[in-house]
Each structure stands twice: as C-alpha cells, then as structure tokens.
Amino acid sequence: MSAKKDREKRREERQQRQSEAAENARRERLIKLASAAAFLAIVAVAVAVVISQSQTSGGDTNLENIDEVETDLANIPQHRLTLGLSTAKVKLVEFGDLQCPICREFAVNVLPELIENKVRTGEARLEFRNYPILGPESVTAAPAAIAAGEQNRGWDFIELFYKNQGTENTGYVSEEFLTSIAKGAKVPDIPRWNRDREGARAKAEVKHTTAEAEQLGFGGTPSFAVEGPGTKGLEPLGTPGSLGEFEEAIDDAA
Amino acid sequence: MSAPSEGTLRAVTTFVAAFGIGVAAYIAIAEAGGGAPACLAGGGGCETVAESQYADLAGINVAVIGIAGYVLLLVTALLRGDGARMGGFAISLAGFGFSVYLTYLELFVIEAICQWCVISAILMTVLFGLNALRMLRYTGIEP
C-alpha cells in the first residue's frame, strides 16, 4: 500500500517536473518568437516613418530673406492681395504661380525697385492674382496666399514663398513648409489661416483668377496686366523683361 | 482572472479587423474620389488631413495601407497555430506603432484631426491588445 503511494507520488512529481520543463521551454520559445516579431514590427514602423518624413524634405523650412521681405514691404498698406495705397491711380496685376521660377526671378530682381519707385510713392498699387499652372503643388499653394491676404499679410507670404521656393512638384509644398512661410510672413492667426486656405472661398477665388488669366490670353506665368486712367479697363502687358518696361507701362496707364 | 479562450480572442479579433477594413475602405474610397471623408462633427479636419502630404506613403494612400493591415490581421485571426499568433502580434504591433505616428502627425504637424483616422487608431490599438494577449497566453500551448 505504502509502496503504491510512493510510486504515485513519484509519478506526480515527475509529471510536475515535466510540465514545468514544458512551460519553461514554452516561455523561452515565446520570448524568442515575440522578440523577433516585435523587432520586425519596429523595423517596419521605422521604415514607414523614415519614408513619410523624407517625403517632406526638399522644402526649406529654415526660411531665408525674412528681413529682406520685411524691409521691402515696410509701411506699405496691404489689403487682401493688393499692395499699396488704394488711392493709387494705376493698378498693376501679376498673374503668378508661386512655384514658378520666373516669377521668383521677377520677385527677386525687379520687384524691390518697382515697389520702391512706384508703389511706395503712391503712383501704383500691385495686385497678385493666382494662376496656378505648374501642377498640384501650385494648386495647394495658391489658396494659402489668399488666406494670408485675408489677414493682410498676403504680400509677405508671396514674397517669402518666392524667396524660399523649391523645385516644382517635388513635395516641398508641404503643410510644414506652408506653415513656416505663414509664420515667417507673420500671419497673426494661423488656425484662421488654415481654415481660410481650406475654405471654399479661397478655392473659388483661385478658379476665378485662373479663368481671368485665360480670358486675357495668358499662357504662362508671370503675366501682367495694367489698369489706369490711360487704359481701357485691364489691359494685358504680357511679361515685361525689365524694370524700365514696367515703369513705362505704369506711366502710360496713369 | 482567467484569460478568455483563444476562440473568443480570435472571434473578437475577426470582428474588429472586419470593422477596420470597413473604416479604412471608406477613407480610401472618399479620398480616391478627390475628396475627403465626411467629418462627423463638421469642420475641415478630414479634408486637411486627406490633402496633407502625409496622406500618402511612397505614393500609396495611407488608408490603402490600412486596409492591407486589417486584411492581414483578419487572416491571422482566422488561422490557427503559432505562426498566426506571432504574425498577428507583429502586424498589430506595427499597425499600432504606425497609428501612434499618424496621430502624432495629426495633432502636432498637420494640426487637424480626422475622426475616421482616430477610429482606425483605436481599432488598431484594440487589435494590438487582443493579438498580444493571444500570443502571450497561447503560443506553444495549443495547436
């Protein structure tokens, strides 16, 4: 009887040892497999994050020329996308695409002096109208300029955008880039700017100015038009090549 | 407290993954039409998120990646064995990690919230919990 009990006890102990060993083996296997699975998952997420972040690079969010833009535009009234006194007799309209490199050339090489000679003096006011023709990122950028204009920082936004422009449609016109331009342009209410640029009104305005540019026969950017006492409504100028030509057109329209 | 049976875990995972496929498919279809999912509480959050450059990953819409993730999780829930347990755990961990990243982008970079993306992030978190429990409790025990 006692021998039988002993055998049973030994068997139970053996079974317990076996089950403990099996549980330990299971745990070890679990740790190995789980570590491998977790490693793979972490690598997958890291790759996704790197790809996602690299998509946004290419735009320069360390903005250049903020001071220069501020100096160019200092103390000149802005209303929406119009720069200059509302009493100025002549209105010079730029149909531009924020991604367009030639528009940038104009903004860098001609505009500062034109502003100094004709806008600051009250002879002309300058109006920007979006004509986004270079692709999807132009279409994204256009309402952002209008939204900045809603807070009367439109020209700061446009000038700063041009001066920090990247290569067309390479993904640089990101939320981050646009926001950095808006902040650099000192748009006071960024959440409002975000709402406005996403709103139907800004998009409708882009559509309207695009149709207007086409109606005037413009096939590229920047294209200019002038209106004053000496013109019959808004007259297309095309793309004048020099500061002198712009000044002459403004004088003729006055 | 005893853990739910593996059958229960698999059934719940199947249901949640199927729901996830529905949510991700809705986002993908709405964005494919050039629009955005309709925000439940109004506002332009979904539109802002859908139009941001983070809406695509290497040219593939993030919602489409989401559909693929949920489908894989559905498959691992339907299959038996350690391979399915580990696969489900790894995929749901990756999905959970990616959801955390996307939610971070919404809150701090895009500064707009799309409820559909939040729903998907919650579903992915639940799936991660279910798959982690299944893996920890049942790996090596049952076939």
Q: Label residue B35 by pLDDT band (50, 70, 90).
A: low
Residues 6+ away with beta carbon under 8 Å from A157: A144, A145, A148, A149, A181, A182, A185, A187
- Does A55 contact B54 at a Cβ distance shorter than 8 Å? yes
CA A15 to chain centroid: 70
For residue A25, which residues of chain B lie inside 8 Å, CB to CB? 140
B78 touches chain A (CB under 8 A): no
Under 8 Å CB pairs connecting chains A and B tally to: 85
Of A156-165, A185-194, B106-115, least confident by mean pLDDT is: B106-115
pLDDT in tens, A65-87: 888 898 899 989 999 999 999 89
CA–CA dist A106, B115 (Å, integer): 43
> Residue-wise over B63-83: b if at least 16 C-beta within 10 A, else e?
bbbbbebbbbbbebbeeeebe
Interval B105-132 mean pLDDT: 87
> Region A106-126: what's the mean pLDDT?
93
Which of A178-182, B3-7, B138-142 is the most confident on average? A178-182
pTM higher than 0.90: no
The CA distance from A127 to A121, in Å, is 16
Burial B1-10 (b: 16+ CB within 10 A, else e): eeeeebeebb
Residues in chain B with CB shorter than 8 Å from the CB of A34 are: 86, 89, 135-136, 139
Greater model confidence, B124 or B55: B124
Confidence check: pLDDT of B19 > 90: yes
- Give pLDDT, residue B33: 66
Q: What pLDDT digit, counting tens, does each position of B25-34 carry?
A: 888 888 776 6
Say whether residue B103 is in contact with chain A using an 8 A CB cutoff: no
Q: Do B111 and A26 touch (CB under 8 A)?
A: no
Looking at mean pLDDT, say which of A31-35, A142-146, B78-82 comes out highest.
A142-146
Tell me how far apart the alpha carbons of residues A208 and A10 are, in angstroms, rounded to a whole number: 92
Which tokens hold the place of B127? 């799936």
Q: From CA A154, how far away is CA A84, in angstroms rounded?
A: 12
**Identity at A69, one-letter amino acid code:** V
Average pLDDT, chain A: 89
Average pLDDT over residues B86-109: 88
Q: For position B142, what pLDDT does the model report?
A: 62
